[in-house]
Amino acid sequence: MEKLSMVTSLLCAITVAVLAVAVVGGEAAVVEHTFVVHEMNATHLCNTTKIYVVNGQFPGPTVDVTEGDTVVVHVINKLPFGLTIHWHGVRQMRSCWADGAGFVTECPIPPGNEHTYRFNVTGQVGTLWWHAHVTCLRATINGAFIVRPRDGKYPFPTPAKDVPIIIGEWWELDLIELDRRMMDGNFDDNPLSATINGKLGDLSNCSRMVEESFILDVKHGESYLLRVINTALFSEYYFRVAGHTFTVVGADGNYLTPFKTDMVTVAPGEAIDVIMVADAPPAHYHMIALANQPPEPDPQIPVFTSRGLVRYAGATANNNGLPVPMPIMPNQHNTMPSYYFHANLTGLAHPERHRVPMHVDERLFVTLGLGSICRGQNTTCKRRRSPETIVVATMNNVSFAHPKTTALLERYYDGTSKGVYTEDFPIRPPRPFNYTNRDLIPPGPLEEALEPTFKATKLKRFKYNTSVEIIFQSTTLMQSDSNPMHLHGYDVFLLAQGLGNFNAKRDVRKFNYHNPQLRNTVQVPRGGWAAIRFVTDNPGMWYLHCHFEFHIIMGMATAFIVEDGPTPETSLPPPPPEFKRCGNNGLSQP
Ligand code: C2O
């Protein structure tokens, strides 16, 4: 951000003061940060807006650790409302209390208060990220979370440099107001632009004031590890650099079998690690991040892009007077490149890490879609996007009612869940239908019979060490978006993905038990399904939700309770001393 005040530049200095004892290949260190969350003015497209940031930065500071380190982050909340910070993808083995999921693992840190998150990072290497986890605040309160290998060795040639590529959105609308509108079933609001590392890019301008682009400086012949993270509230993105190709080497903090491609697809919540070799003739090349979306009759959003630049050392400022090559992007309505990209990835076969459970103790079949409830106290109302309804999002036709004054983990731990949640999350949809029939999108008319739903806080409880298989089925109920499903506290094996309705007889043959991807965010294809498996080895309360912000706010969420195992080593310890219980300061809602 260009307009840093004195105060915020001072705050930046604080982040740099990481009290890490860096020991390469040596003992685990403690990496300590102070995050001051505050309001700041930012000017884009001729307007100055108030935004919410950490330490004066958008995106926020990078947390950079070595596998095995302990992370300590002091969050000081200077906003006029509460917030939490979630460490997206960090497994939090036996440290569920530090997960930072608002109203799930903790109540928001009230204005003027502070909270310390303390957790270990073990068994993960690559890219994760962190973000605010209440309302829509994660649009500007986010940053990269890098985990480096302890022995300093990658399963690929060590890159010259690594660079987070954070794809996000620029919102002029206040994020708290946006949240209020989405809760009311209104998703007509849109960001003004896509961003790459906070830059709108030079395709955006207003009154001939061109927006700044993200610039990646490279040297010919060197290789770069790009950590591509999607922090956007709304869209999946295609990312391409003219004249260059990528080798995908990791995702969500786990290595992948190297996969060559000329385009990366990244859904909200995903982090994709790619190697880009600067092997083109030294010059300037454009990079583009382009949001995709389903074609009509799905509700349409504007085209979002951000254009950046790859600049070779030695190339002249005007690129020798030559035009800068532009990457050729797919049509924004073509979602097939996303399907192929995701389906082509496999885990880097590792005997320790790829022991897929071959038996299944519990099976869930979960449909993902929209629905509607009647406004006011009415029990009947006109459907099909009528103003008499509030559009909500569902899993197995339940729209999650997010608690607003208490945290689920606390209630579970204290045994005081009565009146807060029930444990009857349905393990299959109430009635089967042709999930991917395009006639379920308004104007319909088939959706009318299927869209009525209800709000409830229904969770699913698992015994420790249960092997769970979930088939996620994206539906076309009222819209046909994909669904990037994110499970806290776990990396799950992604066994297979497919288009259309999941058919057990035909589709289990596609399951990859040998080297599936390990992911914390699984992109369930548009009009398709994804099959995952995991073992409940991490006790606690774990949020499961779609990472599209309007889906989560509208209720495409639930939480998994994982019971304690038989020993202290397999049980959730009591809350740490610094943990603050809900309602301690009379403030619980942002
Ligand atoms: Cu990025 Cu609930 O997560």
pLDDT bucket at 587, cuts 50 / 70 / 90: very low
pLDDT bucket at 26, cuts 50 / 70 / 90: low
> Number of structural domains, the chain?
1
Query: If you measure from the C-alpha of residue 406 to the centroid of ligand 1, how many angstroms do you get, rounded to a whole number?
Result: 18
The whole-number pLDDT of residue 8 equals: 44
CA–CA gap between residue 216 and residue 311 (Å, rounded): 6
Is the pLDDT reported for residue 233 higher than 80? yes
pLDDT bucket at 185, cuts 50 / 70 / 90: confident
CA–CA gap between residue 78 and residue 52 (Å, rounded): 10
The whole-number pLDDT of residue 389 equals: 93
pLDDT bucket at 416, cuts 50 / 70 / 90: very high
Query: If you measure from the C-alpha of residue 454 to the centroid of ligand 1, how many angstroms do you get, rounded to a whole number?
Result: 23
Is the pLDDT reported for residue 453 higher than 90? yes
Average the pLDDT over 165-176 and give the result.
Answer: 96
- Kind and range of the H or E run holding 362: strand 362-374
Query: If you measure from the C-alpha of residue 111 to the centroid of ligand 1, how many angstroms do you get, rounded to a whole number?
Result: 22
Is the pLDDT reported for residue 42 higher than 90? yes
Name the residue with the closest Cα to ligand 1, atom 3: 88
Domain assignment present for residue 94? The answer is no
Domain assignment present for residue 429? The answer is yes
The whole-number pLDDT of residue 390 equals: 93
489, 92 in Cβ contact below 8 A?
A: yes
Name the residue with the closest Cα to ligand 1, atom 1: 88
Query: If you measure from the C-alpha of residue 188 to the centroid of ligand 1, how many angstroms do you get, rounded to a whole number?
Result: 23
Query: Which ligand 1 atom sits closest to the C-alpha of 89?
Result: 1
Average the pLDDT over 133-141 and give the result.
Answer: 95
CA–CA gap between residue 584 and residue 586 (Å, rounded): 6
**Amino acid at position 71, single letter:** V
Query: Which ligand 1 atom sits closest to the C-alpha of 101?
Result: 2
Global confidence as pTM:
0.94
> Which residues span the domain enclosing 420?
362-570
Average the pLDDT over 225-243 and give the result.
Answer: 98
Domain assignment present for residue 366? The answer is yes
Mean pLDDT, the chain, rounded, equals 93
Is the pLDDT reported for residue 568 higher than 60? yes
Is the pLDDT reported for residue 9 higher than 80? no
Average the pLDDT over 349-353 and give the result.
Answer: 80
Task: Provide CB contacts within 8 A for 215, sequence distance 6+.
Answer: 308, 309, 310, 311
pLDDT tens digits for 507-551? 999 999 999 999 999 999 999 999 999 999 999 999 999 999 999
421, 454 in Cβ contact below 8 A?
A: no
Residues with CB under 6 A from ligand 1: 86, 88, 101, 131, 133, 269, 486, 488, 543, 545, 547
The token pair that represents 538 in the structure block: 């991490």
Query: If you measure from the C-alpha of residue 46 to the centroid of ligand 1, how many angstroms do you get, rounded to a whole number?
Result: 32
Which residues are registered as beta bridge partners of 64? 146
Query: Which ligand 1 atom sits closest to the C-alpha of 521?
Result: 1
The whole-number pLDDT of residue 588 equals: 41
pLDDT tens digits for 186-212? 778 999 999 999 999 999 999 989 999
Query: Which ligand 1 atom sits closest to the C-alpha of 104?
Result: 2
Regarding beta strands 271-277 and 223-230, do their DSSP bridges make them parallel or antiparallel, or are they unpaired?
Answer: antiparallel
Which position has the higher pLDDT, 103 or 21? 103
45, 193 in Cβ contact below 8 A?
A: yes
The whole-number pLDDT of residue 354 equals: 80
Please name which of 121, 122, 138, 118 lies closest in space to residue 130, comparing C-alpha atoms: 138
The whole-number pLDDT of residue 188 equals: 86
Domain assignment present for residue 589? The answer is no
Query: Which ligand 1 atom sits closest to the C-alpha of 543?
Result: 2
pLDDT bucket at 584, cuts 50 / 70 / 90: low
pLDDT bucket at 491, cuts 50 / 70 / 90: very high
Domain assignment present for residue 270? The answer is no
Query: If you measure from the C-alpha of residue 361 to the centroid of ligand 1, how many angstroms do you get, rounded to a whole number?
Result: 26
The whole-number pLDDT of residue 586 equals: 40
From residue 356, how far is each of 244, 486, 531, 533, 534 by CA, in Å?
35, 19, 13, 8, 8
Domain assignment present for residue 522? The answer is yes
Query: If you measure from the C-alpha of residue 41 to the centroid of ligand 1, how many angstroms do you get, rounded to a whole number?
Result: 26
pLDDT tens digits for 10-19? 444 444 444 4
Domain assignment present for residue 293? The answer is no
Average the pLDDT over 459-483 and give the result.
Answer: 98
The whole-number pLDDT of residue 25 equals: 54
CA–CA gap between residue 236 and residue 357 (Å, rounded): 31
Which CATH number covers residue 429? 2.60.40.420
Q: Before 297, cis peptide (omega within 30)?
A: yes
Torsion of CA 478, 134, 88, 584, to 10 degrees: -140
Query: If you measure from the C-alpha of residue 547 to the centroid of ligand 1, how many angstroms do you get, rounded to a whole number?
Result: 7
Domain assignment present for residue 96? The answer is no
